């Protein structure tokens, strides 16, 4: 199901029945994101799941150091799914959908740690809801 579809949406499920996959996301971050995303109706896929994701989260320490090839492999593996890149080395003032995201070819970048409000705002912008 696409996030742009209105089927199954409600105030508590603004994204409908979307599927999310984590790529190289640390355990603690993954647990927190799973909690927040599941509260709004998103399903976090198990690592072994073959289901295609509607949204990807990837985490890397230094996103400007030769990560482009890694991100390209992610895009090839799951074509069409937007990527939100998480990194502890980004400053919180870096715009989520700005020059750094464009340079890396991802839908958004987020500094970690992050707040639920920042996460949800970015997910809504990326998915166009």
What band does 5 get if pLDDT is binned at 50, 70 and 90? Answer: very low
**pTM for the full predicted model:** 0.86
Is residue 126 within 8 Å of 81, Cβ to Cβ? Answer: no
User: Domain 19-127 falls in which CATH fold?
Assistant: Rossmann fold (3.40.50)
Angle CA(88)–CA(19)–CA(56) in degrees, nearest 5? Answer: 30
**pLDDT score, position 68:** 81
Reported as a single tens digit per residue, the pLDDT across 10-56 is 555 566 679 999 999 999 999 999 999 999 999 999 999 999 999 99
Torsion angle defined by CA atoms of residues 96, 98, 69 and 27, in that order, rounded to the nearest 10 degrees: -10
43-44 and 55-59 strand pairing: unpaired
**pLDDT score, position 69:** 86
SS3 125: helix
What band does 2 get if pLDDT is binned at 50, 70 and 90? Answer: very low
**Taking residues 51-68, what's their average pLDDT?**
88
Angle CA(85)–CA(18)–CA(69) in degrees, nearest 5? Answer: 30
Tokens of 105: 């070819």
């Amino acid at each position: 199901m696409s996030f742009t579809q209105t089927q199954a949406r409600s105030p508590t499920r603004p994204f409908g029945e979307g599927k999310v996959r984590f790529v190289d996301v640390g355990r603690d971050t993954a647990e927190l994101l799973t909690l927040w995303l599941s509260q709004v109706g998103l399903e976090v896929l198990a690592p072994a799941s073959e289901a295609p994701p509607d949204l990807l989260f990837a985490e890397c320490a230094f996103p400007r150091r030769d990560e482009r090839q890694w991100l390209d492999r992610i895009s090839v593996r799951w074509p069409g799914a937007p990527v939100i890149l998480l990194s502890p080395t980004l400053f919180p003032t870096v715009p989520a959908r700005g020059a750094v995201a464009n340079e890396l070819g991802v839908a958004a970048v987020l500094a970690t740690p992050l707040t639920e409000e920042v996460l949800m705002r970015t997910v809504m912008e990326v998915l166009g809801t």
